Amino acid sequence: MSDNQCLRVVYSKRETREFLDKPVDMDTISKILEAGRRAGSAKNRQPWQFILIREKENLRKLSNFGQFAQHLPSAAFAIVITIPDKYFQDRFDAGRAAQNMMLAAHILGLGSCPITLHSEEAAKNHLNIPGDQRIAICIAFGHPKPSKPLGKIIRKPLHEILHLEKYGNQPKS
């Protein structure tokens, strides 16, 4: 993949909250999981555990644990990433694994959307997650539902968020 192709993938990734009622084969799911497994981590600890959820009833129940998880039951599958409840940097590493998975899904023609499970203890109980683990993130995956044309991706200009050498030293626009 060329530099431009890679950047196009990163720049074109959108969150998908509407999915077709169409399954995703295990080979494709395995590629997405492998992308997450290959993420870098502090001291190569690889602190994550992945829970694959494919059953519709389980997705529906899981959607009750997030304030903005209404789209979860329509997903083909979800992956919950857990980490030890020990080191703060493990959250960062889980984010790296999650982003790898979402970019891999995008390359494979699938949509995805990260979801916070606000009722973490209830979600942990439902998924039998041990007490020494915490939920870092849940990600919904599936075939995107065709929708109206997407608008332009709005992002703040770089000069508004970039600081040179020290905070407050912003480049001239």
pLDDT tens for each residue of 12-25: 788 888 999 999 99
CB-based contact 25:142 (threshold 8 Å): no
pLDDT of residue 151: 62
Strand order in the sheet with 133-142: 49-53, 77-84, 133-142, 111-115
Task: Grade residue 8 by pLDDT with cuts at 50, 70 and 90.
Answer: confident
Q: Residue 113's closest CA among 164, 88, 163, 78?
A: 78
Residue with token string 């001239």: 172
Domain ranges of the chain: 3-148
Architecture of domain 3-148: 3-Layer(aba) Sandwich (3.40)
Distance CA 152, CA 172 (A): 25
R_g (Cα) of the chain, nearest Å: 18
Residue with token string 């494919």: 54
pLDDT-wise least confident of 4-13, 51-60, 149-158: 149-158
pLDDT tens for each residue of 114-173: 999 999 999 999 999 999 999 999 999 999 988 755 566 788 888 888 998 889 888 876
Q: Which phi and psi (to 5°) does residue 144 adopt?
A: -65, 140
- Answer whether 0.85 is exceeded by the pTM: yes
Beta strand pairing status for 111-115 and 77-84?
A: unpaired
Distance CA 72, CA 123 (A): 14
